[in-house]
Amino acid sequence: MSLVGKKFPDLNVDAMDTNGQTFKVNVLEEARKNNKKVVLFWYPKDFTYVCPTELFAFQEAQAAFNDKNTIVIGASVDTAEVHAAWLNTPKNQGGIQGITYPLLADTNRNLSNQLGILQTGDQHYDEDTEVFTMDGPYVTWRATYLIDEEGTVFHESVNVEPVGRNTDEYLRMVDAYTHFQQNGEVCPANWQKGKDALSENRASVAEYLANH
């Protein structure tokens, strides 16, 4: 089920910082206590191929997100120790050294299971052994959540593993939602910050379409 328009789950999750220190992160509380928006992006695995390109893309965009009052948080189901190893591996050796935002280590899959973003595959039951087995890697899809200052999700999206994300679109989404919060105007297709927005009436839409 979609979380858009609903509060993000109130869960504490292990996380790792660049100093190799583990701590707890509650994404809902991060938004509320800091009065900031949050972009939370999930990736399938550490030490893979598309994933580091995304982590570095969000790192490059972090200053732009900060300017928009938005916190960046990454997440996977890897352990905090694997995160630490990856964070301390140089970029030219397949690592993510230089990433400065926290990485959630949802090893018990409590949060990703609540979000419904795990690649669970098909389950099989062996009647002789009374054991369930499951196809698939049991890691997450490339899921992304934008959460407002009250902890309410205003955007979610899910990509298959082979398709990387575009950070510019999430920056645009933050701008659009912030414009609505501040001005009460809705943002048309392909809207960019500084462009015309719409009042919620037919005359405003008709005028916009006539001029675009």
Active-site residues: which are they?
Answer: 51
Record the tokens describing residue 189, joined without a space. Answer: 């297709």
Q: Which long-range contacts (CB under 8 A, 24 or more apart) does 17-24 make?
A: 17/102, 18/87, 18/99, 18/100, 20/84, 20/87, 20/88, 22/80, 22/105, 23/102
**Three-class secondary structure of residue 42 per DSSP:** strand
Query: Taking Cα atoms as reference points, which of 108, 134, 130 lies closest to residue 122?
Result: 134
Alpha-carbon distance of 186 to 196, in angstroms, equals 10
Tell me phi and psi for residue 193, to 5 degrees. Answer: -55, 130
Lateral strand order in the sheet of 37-42:
22-25, 13-16, 103-105, 70-76, 37-42, 142-147, 153-159
